A and B are shown apart, each in its own frame.
Chain A
């Protein structure tokens, strides 16, 4: 149920000098939850997935339709991940607003509240910038996570502010921190950083900054330059 990706080498993050720790050859593997096919085997999640597939393929199926029209579901959902009791759908970026609208409006889904929009940066991936949406269904007391991956070169995806007005500031923050551009947002400007700020601070290649501190004669480097276990 897991995919393995390399988590890097060594233990101390040493580079550029000889390995004196003896851990330089250590290859760390990170296990990440694998993508599942439908049905995922959890009743609650299958209900949501079936409901979404049905809604996306255009409403109720008639009796004589043996093969359900899931084409449209497979077109917009790239991966399904169930991990630690939480359902994550990786959605094609261009479809995010439509998927959100379906999740909000369909009677069997009713995700009325968009709890959170934020981002995560995975520099090792081609489409490194992930926009993450947490939706809440108050009717069914369920939660779902949607994830959209875009590349840093073309970080565009549709804004969901038309569907969830509350996403306004949260998309602005995601733009501010990650540089993800939400097309169709009414006022996509920086929100936490000053307007003339350069760069997007939450990206992994953006340094933390800081100054060395002298304490009892010894100089302690800023947190991002300290030697640390990886």
Chain B
């Protein structure tokens, strides 16, 4: 619209164009203004958005369909877990750290417990069975976590059936967890000194069942997705991040391996005896979302291999350290609502031994002291390097615990992946990082 309009004169102000409408049709007035011209659109995606994996907020600046700038806003799920830990005993700490990355509770617990054990200097004293159970649980957890990734990413990119199948198998893994620890998630199962209780025979049977059908199911997922034109178009060549980009942004885990670098802490800096297991580190050269999908699929297969080996070497024995000053009463009864009391233990301390009662009281209320110092324990979580930096001042409570959370660090890659791409690819790129906001915000 050019020239003076008697019905709707316009003038420029600092706030933009202002029309003074005195008559005529509103549609006529605005039709002269090109809505796209010189217009940046800022879209706020989240924090409540089904494809942001929780409460992630993205502020996207768009030119048409192209993202020119992406800003990630986090902190909506900050619960002060690290601060809370400083007010509980060392053993109670597992109950808190397990709630950080809620899709990978066993990894949080294991990193924390390995750190506490290193501070205590009892790393060598952990029974072999306990370490094997930890490996077993971690790999089961890796499968369940990757299944959630596959399920939700499938859903976000239009493969709704994948969501149903992914959650179906994940539920089976969670059933195994429930059999072993009494809880599906946030189990606080790994404890400083070992694990809370032994694996029951029914669970072994169920894990064998999983080993039996899972390879076929993984094949089914691949049949469902790998050749699917929509899946290929949504993932191939999307959100590429090469090794240089990954390293400078600190990205580890499947995303780094999808760029071709076989960096897996289970191989490169082994812990929990991973050097004695036989497995490969899957990599892909393409560095796109599709490569990350393939890496995760293959990692599930490798995890199955490790689980099988762990089952075979599961020899009878104690599951918690022999030192009674550290070991909490193991072999608790599993009730409907998780781990309950150990009836034998209660009978002993309440009915037979005064000393045991005193000892139990001291251990549970006061806890144990951990010699002063600090350690950093990295483990290979489903999302990358999960590091626990644990500081002790010699007291009965952690002085400081900091988690190097792969979700937190990896989310920094979103601008690098999204800017210059299409709006729809922001979803694919963000999902391929597999962020869990509980872990990210802690």
| Contact A116:B402 (CB < 8 A) given known A30-B394, A166-B412, A192-B441 | yes
Which of A121, A143, A229 makes the CB contact (< 8 A) with B376? Answer: A143
Whether B184 is near chain A, meaning CB under 8 Å from some CB there, is no
Report yes or no: B412 in contact with A169, Cβ–Cβ below 8 A: yes
Whether A112 is near chain B, meaning CB under 8 Å from some CB there, is yes
A interface residue numbers (CB < 8 A to B): 7, 28, 30-33, 83-84, 86, 88, 112-116, 118-121, 132, 134, 136, 138, 141, 143, 145, 164-170, 173, 190-194, 201-202, 208, 223-224, 228-230
> How distant is the Cα of A191 from the Cα of B411 in the complex, in angstroms?
13
Report yes or no: A223 in contact with B88, Cβ–Cβ below 8 A: yes
> How distant is the Cα of A202 from the Cα of B412 in the complex, in angstroms?
23
Report yes or no: B378 in contact with A230, Cβ–Cβ below 8 A: no
Whether B247 is near chain A, meaning CB under 8 Å from some CB there, is yes
Which of A167, A193, A208 makes the CB contact (< 8 A) with B75? Answer: A193
Residues of chain B within 8 A (CB-CB) of A193 are: 75, 78
Whether B366 is near chain A, meaning CB under 8 Å from some CB there, is yes
> How distant is the Cα of A228 from the Cα of B75 in the complex, in angstroms?
31
Report yes or no: A134 in contact with B376, Cβ–Cβ below 8 A: yes
Which of A112, A165, A191 makes the CB contact (< 8 A) with B249? Answer: A165
| Contact A32:B373 (CB < 8 A) given known A116-B389, A134-B389, A223-B88 | yes
Report yes or no: B372 in contact with A170, Cβ–Cβ below 8 A: no
Counting from the closest, the 3 A-B pairs by CB-CB distance are A166-B250, A116-B404, A30-B394
Report yes or no: A166 in contact with B249, Cβ–Cβ below 8 A: yes
Report yes or no: B250 in contact with A84, Cβ–Cβ below 8 A: no
> How distant is the Cα of A141 from the Cα of B396 in the complex, in angstroms?
33
Residues of chain A within 8 A (CB-CB) of B247 are: 112-113, 138
| Contact A166:B409 (CB < 8 A) given known A30-B372, A30-B393 | yes
User: Which residue of B has the minimal Cβ distance to A166?
Assistant: B250
B interface residue numbers (CB < 8 A to A): 74-75, 78, 80, 82-84, 86-88, 118-119, 121, 247-252, 263, 268-269, 365-367, 371-376, 378, 385, 387, 389, 391, 393-397, 399-400, 402, 404, 408-409, 411-412, 441-442
Which of B250, B367, B375, B395 makes the CB contact (< 8 A) with A7? Answer: B395
CB distance from A35 to the nearest CB of B (A): 14
Which of A30, A114, A118 makes the CB contact (< 8 A) with B250? Answer: A114
> How distant is the Cα of A201 from the Cα of B441 in the complex, in angstroms?
14
Residues of chain A within 8 A (CB-CB) of B250 are: 113-115, 164-167
| Contact A120:B391 (CB < 8 A) given known A113-B250, A143-B376, A166-B250 | yes
User: Which residue of A has the minimal Cβ distance to B367?
Assistant: A229
| Contact A83:B394 (CB < 8 A) given known A115-B387, A192-B441 | no
Most buried by B among A136, A167, A224: A136
